[in-house]
Amino acid sequence: MELLAALAAVTTTIRLGPLVTGVTYRHPSVLAAEAVTVDHVSGGRLDFGIGAAWFGQEHEELGIDFPPPGERLTRLDEALHVTSLLMSEGAVTYEGRYYQLEDARYRPFPVQRPHPPFWVGGGGERRLLPVAARHADVWHGFGSVRELARKSRLLDQLCEKEGRDPAAVARSTSLSLSESNDAVRRRAEELRHAGFSILIADWPTEGRARVDEFIAKVLPEL
């Protein structure tokens, strides 16, 4: 979040956000406070991206606990609930399995109301997608177009079970630029037909020249 705050101070139009921060690295109350600060510094340009965390080696090296997947996903579910409450309500009392708040107040509220868009990243069908169905404004997934389309349909069903309009959850995935222009165009078009409205272009190994080529020759068509 510190880097995002620095970027927010020297930019004016681009949206900013992690893709995604792991729930294990910060208590959700601390993360919510940091996120609200970035939202204010940026004038309401933060996207709040969070996932269950995956990089076990980094946790071990830094001395951070790395719970089993089931616990991390429960923590993610609770953290999103806590964050939403802190960003939108006057006083929050919450009794979860891993997080507890008692008459907690955080001011100021974020610029974006009720909170910055929640991005939930990951692809697990049994636990992650239900969390996204409950909390996400944007779901970011990975994989082939066929796999992403199948999971997107499953997310639709899970949203309906939660009483949410599936259209309220935008679909996002990555777009590799380290392919031919025709391949990039083809994948982007296939993803559009699969309902993905946000494509995050990865920085290519070929460097800036490849990015410039994409901007000049492909991006206008997308």
DSSP states along 14-81: S-B--S-EETTSS-HHHHHHHHHHHHHHTTS-B-EEEE----HHHHHHHT-----HHHHHHHHHHHHH
Claim to verify: residue 192 and residue 92 sit in the same structural domain: no
Answer with the one of 115, 134, 159 that is the final residue of a domain: 115
Q: Taken in order 206, 140, 38, 116, is the CA torsion positive or negative?
A: positive
Burial 187-204 (b: 16+ CB within 10 A, else e): bbeebeebbbeebebeeb
Answer with the one of 115, 150, 182 that is the final residue of a domain: 115
83's tokens: 């964050």
Claim to verify: residue 4 and residue 89 sit in the same structural domain: yes
Claim to verify: residue 101 and residue 154 sit in the same structural domain: no
Claim to verify: residue 39 and residue 18 sit in the same structural domain: yes
Q: CA 34, CA 4: separation in Å to the nearest integer?
A: 10
Per-residue pLDDT of the chain (222 residues; tens, 9 = 90+): 889 999 999 999 999 999 999 999 999 999 999 999 999 999 999 999 999 999 999 999 999 999 999 999 999 999 999 999 999 987 999 999 999 999 998 889 999 999 999 999 999 999 999 999 999 999 999 999 999 999 999 999 999 999 999 999 999 999 999 999 999 999 999 999 999 999 999 999 999 999 999 999 999 998
Claim to verify: residue 42 and residue 84 sit in the same structural domain: yes
Claim to verify: residue 72 and residue 133 sit in the same structural domain: no
> In the 8-state DSSP scheme, what is residue 121?
E
Q: CA 102, CA 92: separation in Å to the nearest integer?
A: 6
If phi over 0 gives left and psi between -120 and 50 gives alpha, with beta otherwise, what is residue 163?
left
Claim to verify: residue 68 and residue 102 sit in the same structural domain: yes
Claim to verify: residue 12 and residue 90 sit in the same structural domain: yes
In which domain, by residue range, is 145 found? 122-222
Claim to verify: residue 18 and residue 96 sit in the same structural domain: yes
Claim to verify: residue 12 and residue 31 sit in the same structural domain: yes
Answer with the one of 54, 84, 115 that is the final residue of a domain: 115
Number of domains in the chain: 2
- Which CATH number is 27's domain given? 3.20.20.30
In this prediction the pTM is 0.93
Claim to verify: residue 91 and residue 164 sit in the same structural domain: no
Phi, psi of 4 (to 5 degrees): -65, -40
Q: CA 80, CA 213: separation in Å to the nearest integer?
A: 39
Claim to verify: residue 56 and residue 103 sit in the same structural domain: yes
The total of other beta-carbon atoms located within 10 Å of residue 214's CB is: 18
